[in-house]
Structure 1
Amino acid sequence: MSSQPVQGLPLLPGSSFRDPTKTAFHRSQTLGYKNGFAFKRLPTVGIGGNRLYVNQLSQAELDELSNKRPTLTYGQPKQAPPADFIPAHVAFDKKVLKFDGYFQEDVPISTEEHFRIRQVGIYYYLEDDSMSVMEPIVENSGIPQGKLIKRQRLPKNDRGDHYHWKDLNRGINVTIYGKTFRIVDCDAFTEVLRFYAMWDDTENMFGENRHFIIHYYLADDTVEVREVHERNDGRDPFPVLIRRQHLPKKMVEKKGTFPTCVLEISDQEVLEWFTAKDFAVGQSTTLLGRSFFIYDCDEFTRQFYRDKFGITHFQPVDVRKPPPEEIKQIIPPYNGYGFLDDSLQNCFSLIPQAPRKNVIKMLENDHKVLRYAVMMESPNPEDSKRRFVLSYWLATDMISIYEPPVRNSGIIGGKYLGKTRVPKPGSSTDDPVYYQPADFTVGSMVEVFGHRFIIVDVDLYVLNYMESNLESFPAAVVQSMRDHFAPHQAAREAVQRLASSETNTQELDALAEQMQEHMRRHNYLPDSNMQAAFLQQDKDGSGLLNKEEFFALCDRFKVPVDDPLFQKLISLCFHGENQLRYPIFLRAFQC
């Protein structure tokens, strides 16, 4: 018999009959699987397999109605139909929340250890709210590792509730099948909003700008504030400023007797808690009495606000301090003491350091000196007759001036100017320009600290140095030196011919080298006209001069004949009692 009531009779005892042959009274299933995915389906039969006599639409008809917008002739248009239904297994496909944790395992059979700490990874699958627990495999650990709990919905309590993603959080214990797991961390995907903020505390004494990261956890609407530490910032390494907790936004009016210092804030004392809508880039937020200015956020937070609130303006704010205004260092005027470079070092540091020197240049030009014969330009007739030797030291670019002593002149000769760098006229102490070898030519004027000198002659070594370093000298300077030595070239060749006819002994060659070194040491610069004057005095070209003519020429060119080395050289030049071979004597003056 059918268990359905008789048509037209009310559902009263006696008007319905039970089928004694029916044994299946289960509810028909509404969950099915297709291609490995679970999906819901509408039931076609009721309890016991009886057909449902209802006016039920098919799934295709329901989809068509949900996506169809009605066309109205009159009246206001109705609200748009809801978006297409997306099942959970599609929306959350392959989206997994991963938590890091550990559990403590007792070791009762060992005398060396009483328990072990084993790390695990807890995976929560959003598509079907299932979970699994995996332990990383450590090679040669001696412990069975890998999958500890296979993927399934895990029971939460005895009432039949299952674990949900809202029940998982950092710093809590989770008991699964009698084993307690401690959750310590989670991955970046386990939904957290991250804001970059700055706490400006410069209004208070010793306050400063400090950078923080604000974490808002979507799982339980908690907030955490972590400080960004920099190297050598002088602060203790405690990154958490505000631990993870629910933060009150508006509180009720507190009574004077409420013990806030010992009791935790509950929902009765709070009117409104902080939520995700209370944080925005470019705005300030007050958290527990501190004002944090949010200047940026991460990409996940931007996408969340676009999808949740429709906010698209996330222009980061530049909170970097502008570079301090460069203060130009004012160098005091040069006081005239010491070298300019040495005095300048006193303005750069408390303990002055010696100026850096070009060591390569000093080594390459060691003992290389360019010598010039100069005369003083002065309205005093006595000073205009004085002759000086100006030496330019290539190793240090310094200049020294020496005045050879002249007997019975009334002027004490010797060092006139020690080694120093001489600035050119018109140069300032801020940007000094010093004399260089290219500035010295025959006839040019050299101004040395207010005194003027005119170059009247140069050493032959100067021309040789210019010839070997043509790239360092202007062509006009080199040509002027060549023109200066051109008239004396014939005289030098004639003296060399006369000297070559004489007997060259080893003693004479050694003495000539010794004489040249002696003259350089005593700053004696022979006149380039000396050879021409001796040749002009030798009328017959014999290479001999009498004693009176020879010593008259020596006195004319300020030759120190009283010097022992010069006397020794003159003794080798005697040819008889009254004549001297002057070419031998002039060999000592050839560079």
Structure 2
Amino acid sequence: MGSQPVQGLPLLPGSSFRDATKTAFHRSQTLNYKNGFAFKRLPTVGIGRERLHVNQLSQAELDELSNKRPTLTYGQPKQALPSDFIPAHVAFDKKVLKFNGYFQEDVPISTEEHFRVRQVGIYYYLEDDSMSVMEPIVENSGIPQGKFIKRQRLPKNDRGDHYHWKDLNRSINITIYGKTFRIVDCDPFTQTFLESQGIELNPPEKMIFDPYTELRKMPLRMYVTPSDFDQLKQFLAFDKKVLRFYAIWDDTVNMFGESRRFIIHYYLADDTVEVRECHEKNNGRDPFPVLIGRQRLPKKIVEKKDTFPTCVLEISDQEVLEWFTAKDFAVGKSVTLLGRTFFLYDCDEFTQRFYRDKFGISDFQPVDIKKPPPEEVKQVIPPYNGYGFVEDSLQNCFSLIPKPPKKNIIKMLQNDHKVLRYAVTMESPNPEDRKRRFVLSYCLATDMMSIYEPPMRNSGIIAGKYLGKTRVPKPGSNTDSPIYYEPADLTIGAMVEVFGHRFVITDADLYVLHYIESNLESFPAAVVQSMRDHFAPRQEATEAIKRLERSEPDEQELEAVVAEMREHLQRHNYLPDSGLQEAFLQQDRDGSGLLDKAGFFNLCEHFKVPVDDPLFQKLISLCSHGESQIKYPSFLRVFQC
């Protein structure tokens, strides 16, 4: 590399010479990017930028390339796929052309008008080439309006052709089912669509209005009524104008009476009054909204004469001296309507504005009709009568059907079947009762106590259940919040008063001490220490007995097990390690002949002694000294010949 042979010399060793002045030896790049695509090209220069005489285009190739059409990098371009077919109901969905027009119809039987101009809207639906004609609804026209021609394809002539959007334009007449419509204008979308399709639109025309309708819009002629009061004028002036008052009918003075709310409507158009009831949720009344129907209500009536027929249910105008008017109603006053007295405590804004403009009244302060809440009567709990539990008896004061008090389910599950038992004696001035012995059981799941008297021979007292399961309150506790005995109150020498009878705790079950030791946070230190002192002599005696029982195993049994173990090892060809005995002696540094169980089992595992075998387990139990030590000399007798 980097050498160039002399021209004419063969490429043999010794025939090439190196250029000592050459310093560049890198190769030219053959990879490149063009228009975002990676492509490979042939190198134009060699190592060290030396010009190559190969891979160069000749002049003829360059001329051919200059006259050749360019192609894509990856071959000839592919022909584009044809566009997808889009149906008309998708392409022209919700696209509608709208034209504004009118038509004329004759009115032969009217003297005020000879023809009528009716405006219409012509809709053309591009998705299916259907059309419809709609007539806008005019108030009080007396003509059925709305849908004039329902949506369909409309025939254009007798040859079966139908109207197309190409046939529609501004300022033209079209005939549909024998009726001629004049199209005057269209909306911007229609104009844009038709122009985009190359249709030249005619200039728009002005819409023609119906002359009789325009005549009716002119102001009416004013007439002066000779009468001082015109009911028609009152109706036209106050139509749909109603005074609204909020009232209350207080009937609590009568038996089974109550306070009910009403709305009083006074119609200014004809001076009639209506009373509507405001129903509340779950009031127990039938949903009749109207208490007094709309009518004129009399204020003063002529006194009835003897000749007045009693069968008449309605009064006439001749019998009424004065009717109720708007001036008889005011906020903060009472009004009697048909024998019922209503108190008006508020009104709406329109009523306030009417009275302010009509009568100059400006005080419309609403009256607060809410009754003060009744004084809360404190519930007095009657004293406890001694029957049943306090909580059960208390439920009778809260509901007609008493519900059982809630129980602490978690506490019951955690302390299920956990009972603390104590030996108690009765404290009584009677010497015979002081000799009686009882067993007091405290159930931790329900905090209930029970007392049982074991049978005593020739005592003359019927033994058995003395007190059933119940919660025993402490002496002096209140029945409203009783304080019951707890496990912390039960200790040696404590006095327990059970419904007037006193008991002294003299002894307890060993489980009581275990429970106290596992729940030290729930007991005072004095109770814990008292229990420990009480059970200390008993525990020492028990430990001494256990030590005596475990101090010396039965020698005959040990010899029998050792002999059986030797035969067992011989049958299985087990050869003990020679350093086994020496290792045990080194582990026993003080020469006591005892090893702790952890060190003993570590040595057995090191020398692969099958301690899991049942015979070995039996031998280890015979050699055990206490709970944590083993006498290893007795164990090593198995491996001695």
**TM-score, structure 2 normalization:** 0.45
Task: Name which one, 1 or 2, has greater alpha-carbon Rg.
Answer: 2
**TM-score, structure 1 normalization:** 0.48
Higher relative contact order, structure no. (Cα contacts within 8 Å, ≥ 6 residues apart): 1
